Amino acid sequence: MRDRPSAERAEELDLRDHFLLPGFIDSHAHIGTPDQAPSSDYVYRLWLAHGVTTVRELGAFNGLDWTLNEARRAAAQEIVAPKIHVYPALIAGMLTPTSPTSGDESMAWVREVAARGAKGVKFFGTSPNVFESAVNEASRLGLGSACHHDQRRAAQVNALTSARWGLGSIEHWYGIPEAMFRDRTVQHVPSSYNHNSEPERFSQGAQLWLQTAERGNAAWQETLEELCELGTTLSPTFNIYIGSRDAARVRTSEWHEKYTSPTLWQFFQPSPEKHGSYMGDWTTDDEIAWRHAYVKWMSFVNDFKNLGGRVTAGSDSGFIYKVYGFGFIEELELLQEAGFHPLEVIRAATLHGAELLGIDSEVGSIEVGKVADLVVASENPVGNFKVLYGNGHLRSSDNGVGRVSGVRFTMRSGVLYDAAELRADIAAMVAEEKAAQSQRTT
**C-alpha closest to that of 253 among 96, 386, 420:** 386
pLDDT on residue 395: 93
87 Rama class: left (phi>0) / alpha (psi -120 to 50) / beta: beta
pLDDT reading at 213 higher than 90: yes
Q: At what angle do helices 103-116 and 128-141 cross, to 10 degrees?
A: 40
- Please report the beta strands in 254-389, taking only residues with DSSP state E, as ranges in sequence order: 310-311, 374-377
Q: Which residues contact 325 (CB under 8 A, 6 or more apart)?
A: 46, 47, 49, 50, 52, 317, 390
**Percentage of residues in the chain having pLDDT higher than 70:** 96
Residue with the bigger pLDDT between 10 and 421: it is 421
Tell me the pLDDT band of 398, cut-offs 50, 70 and 90. Answer: confident
pLDDT on residue 8: 63
Tell me the pLDDT band of 94, cut-offs 50, 70 and 90. Answer: very low
CA-to-CA distance for 177 and 172, rounded, in angstroms?
12
For residue 182, what are the CA distances in angstroms to 161, 229, 303, 368? 15, 21, 20, 50
pLDDT on residue 2: 45
Around 99, how many Cα atoms within 13 Å sit in the side-chain half-sphere?
A: 16
Q: At what angle do helices 40-49 and 419-441 cross, to 10 degrees?
A: 140
- The SS3 call for residue 13 is coil
**C-alpha closest to that of 323 among 263, 413, 401:** 263
Tell me the pLDDT band of 93, cut-offs 50, 70 and 90. Answer: very low
**Percentage of residues in the chain having pLDDT higher than 90:** 88
Show me where the domains of the chain are located: 24-369
CA-to-CA distance for 341 and 225, rounded, in angstroms?
21
The CATH number of the structural domain formed by 24-369 is 3.20.20.140
Q: pLDDT tens-digit profile of 19-37?
A: 999 999 999 999 999 999 9
For residue 194, what are the CA distances in angstroms to 201, 272, 287? 8, 13, 20
